[in-house]
Amino acid sequence: LSGYLVVQTIVRDISERKKNEKFLRESEFRFRSFFNTNPEGILLLDFQGRILDANKAFLRNSGYSLPECRMTSFKAFVPEIDQGKIIQALLNLRSGISQQEPLQSSYRAKDGRIVPVSFRGWLVVDEESKPIYLGVFIKDLTTEKALIADKNALEKQVIRAQKSEAIGTLAGG
């Protein structure tokens, strides 16, 4: 046997693994596409309220960068007056109590302005239904609040005009 070369080969079919890797890449792409193109802000929080991830809409609206947000408690963004109700909502979500209505609140943008928002959260679970983190949709209500204020101002103008018209009619009659 001194003149023979012994070669031993092991062949494994990795086509299934390659197929699974491709599926995972496509799944990650779909998630990232949904996450980053969603017009509403989205935050992913751990159970201590620290931000794990934030989508582009939240970052754009808030003025913060992802590194500034990541692993920062949501409390750094939410005015103190609103923190209690946000904490209670997060505790309810963590306990599996679903949120029926969006929670009206606000957050502080990087430039210091207070942004009125509605929060809607959900519990994110793994394949075995174990809670892994919290997801939060954040809808900016700035435009809606401005429209409501404009509507109220116009209604007051109409009422004043109607009063003036009524007074003019009485004075003319």
Q: What is the pLDDT of residues 131-159, one digit of tens each?
A: 899 999 999 998 777 677 667 778 787 78
Q: Mean pLDDT, the chain, as a whole number? A: 87
Give 1's pLDDT tier (boundaries 50, 70, 90).
low
pLDDT digits over 39-73, tens only? 999 999 998 889 999 999 999 999 999 999 998 89
Give 161's pLDDT tier (boundaries 50, 70, 90).
confident
Residue 2: predicted pLDDT? 67
Per DSSP, the three-state class of 103 is strand
The residue-averaged pLDDT of 2-27 equals 87
- Which tokens sit at 21? 């890797």
Give 173's pLDDT tier (boundaries 50, 70, 90).
low
Residue 52: predicted pLDDT? 95
> For residues 9 and 30, is the Cβ–Cβ distance under 8 A?
no
> For residues 105 and 87, is the Cβ–Cβ distance under 8 A?
no
For every residue of 38-67, DSSP letters joined together read -SSEEEEE-TTSBEEEE-HHHHHHH---HH
Cβ of 54: how many Cβ atoms within 10 Å?
24
Residue 74: predicted pLDDT? 87
pLDDT digits over 92-140, tens only? 888 877 777 888 999 999 999 999 999 999 988 888 989 899 999 999 9
71 Cβ partners below 8 Å, 6+ apart?
50, 51, 52
Sheet holding 41-45, edge to edge: 51-54, 41-45, 131-140, 114-125, 103-108
Q: 83: closest CA among 61, 99, 106?
A: 106
63 Cβ partners below 8 Å, 6+ apart?
109, 110, 111
